[in-house]
Structure 1
Amino acid sequence: MSRLVLCTISVMIGFLLGLVPLRSFALDHDNLDPNRPIGMEDAYAIPKGEIGMEGGVRFNDRREGRTRVTFQPQIIYGAFDNTQIEIQGDLMSDPNTLVGSAKSGDLHLGVLYNFNTETLQLPAFAARVEVDLPTGVNSKGVDTQLTGILTRSFGRLRAHLNAGYTILGSPQGQERPGTYRAVAAVSYPLGYPSSFRDTLIASIYTRQSDLQGQPNNTGIEIGLRHQLTSRIVLDGGLGTEFAGPSDRTALTGTVGLSVGF
């Protein structure tokens, strides 16, 4: 990860910690954040004043090319009611071969706003805006992402829809200038009501390929979030792509840790 990314994250950690009183917050394993542990999220922000520091390691074994490993440190802060701020910087192996918006060392700054809680008539709805700064390897231009998120409960089962679009600030070579992504997912609390420490998540997704003229990447993922303590959540996930370009994912996996302050 570039020195600029590390420096920015360090400064933001100190700033955010200075904004909250010296007391502990509880993390909720049922609150689903991006990549924790799979590529979807729910429509709810973390409570106002809460800070979550998250980190994960993700491997991507492709059908063609080298297996890629990604380290994903992230900070999430409940800045206001129904609003969270996200800061992330990915560090990827084999960075010079990356195409598309995701570049190793880029700094990601995002805001999620929840417009409403779920009612009998309406699902919960949120919007997320992210700006990716070109601080990484071979990265040019500022990329922008906009995502709409719906969450609806059916008893203990929750259904989620994510639909987003990414605009590349400076596409290179055969990279698409913009790509869409759609995810449908369900989450379910295991062991409820006798215990409530685990949430199972499964999803199916499709996204435009990074390069022009190639088919969509389409796949499935499954993950688990486990409440270790009131402030610590562990997560893990697996996935595969059954349609897409020749270098699509054969197997991907994630392990991660979230800590609340």
Structure 2
Amino acid sequence: MRYFLMTLQIFFCVLLAFIWMAGWLIIAGAVALAEEQKNMSPGMATGMENAFPVPFRALQFQNVIRFEESNRGDKIYRVEPELRWGLARSGFLSVRSQLAFGPGVSRDSGNLRVQGFYNTSRETSALPATALVLGTTLPTGHDSAGVDGLIRGILTKSAGVAQFILNAELDKIGAAQPAERDFRYRFGMGADFGAGSLVRTGLLVEQSESRGEVSLWRMQAGLFHHFTPTIAIALGAEVGLS
């Protein structure tokens, strides 16, 4: 409980700092709101992220709640609040925490993840939009150690009402155990369909934490719906394929 409260205090202090820094910002108009609806981050029904940034000077908050069942039948609950700030016209800064509840998942619960996103090229009729993400995970959680790093590349191409997404990520684990990998890869490909409401799909493969174990394949699908230009809800499901 102590580390849980400390993590919440840290996260809300960061949240207040963001709000204080953004106090001079102009409220995003209709064009910015339209752009914000294009931005899809991990947790919005699937784990796929597209190459469109948060609008310049906009603040975006989301909270993901996950329900999982382990191979042993244990129930696991995760809460992942995230704040995004459109720091640049083509990029944004995000702060995210993950709180885990359930048997055997307390390790690293409460860590803070800070990421910078930059849209490296706009989508054209022939070429996809591209983006680069650099991030780090700070050991602020329970029983955590070491600073992790990641780099992620993103491709997004639209075709009518469909949008196709590719993600490729490499993680560097700062304090891996002897039986764990120092580097882990993660690849994903997905497709979103629709306009106001989106049907989202994704197929992901992720290298296992332990050396010698097979990679993990997952299929995801869900629905993303805007109630208003600034309020949305996403529901998704995942099934393991390996």
Alignment TM-score > 0.5, same fold: yes
Cα deviation for residue 173 of structure 1 reads: 4.2
Residue number among 145, 153, 157 corresponding to 2:150 in the alignment: 145
State the alpha-carbon separation in 2 of the partners of residues 219 and 39 from structure 1. Answer: 10
- Residue matched to 1:49: 57
The yes-or-no answer on 1:70 pairing with 2:78 is yes
Q: Which runs of 5+ in 1 are unaligned?
A: 190-195, 244-261
State the alpha-carbon separation in 2 of the partners of residues 81 and 117 from structure 1. Answer: 12
Deviations 1:58-114 (A, max 9, x none): 011122251211001110110111111110111001374467xxx211010011100
State the identity as a percent: 25
Cα deviation for residue 22 of structure 1 reads: 6.6
**Structure 1 length-normalised TM:** 0.84
Task: Report the 3-state secondary structure (helix = DSSP H, G, I; strand = E; otherwise coil) of the residue aligned with 2:12.
Answer: helix
Task: Report the 3-state secondary structure (helix = DSSP H, G, I; strand = E; otherwise coil) of the residue aligned with 1:228.
Answer: strand
- Report if aligned partners of 1:2, 1:135 keep a CA contact under 8 Å in 2: no
The yes-or-no answer on 1:187 pairing with 2:192 is yes
Residue number among 2, 10, 18 corresponding to 1:8 in the alignment: 10
Cα deviation for residue 10 of structure 1 reads: 1.7
**Structure 2 length-normalised TM:** 0.90
Aligned residues: 234
Partner amino acid, structure 2, of 1:67: K
State the alpha-carbon separation in 2 of the partners of residues 147 and 224 from structure 1. Answer: 24
Task: Report the 3-state secondary structure (helix = DSSP H, G, I; strand = E; otherwise coil) of the residue aligned with 1:172.
Answer: coil
Q: Which runs of 5+ in 2 are unaligned?
A: none
- Residue matched to 1:229: 228
Compute the RMSD of aligned alpha carbons: 1.9
Deviations 1:125-162 (A, max 9, x none): 00111100011122110000110000011222110000
Residue number among 122, 129, 136 corresponding to 1:124 in the alignment: 129
- Report if aligned partners of 2:100, 2:106 keep a CA contact under 8 Å in 1: no
State the alpha-carbon separation in 2 of the partners of residues 159 and 22 from structure 1. Answer: 32
Cα deviation for residue 207 of structure 1 reads: 0.7
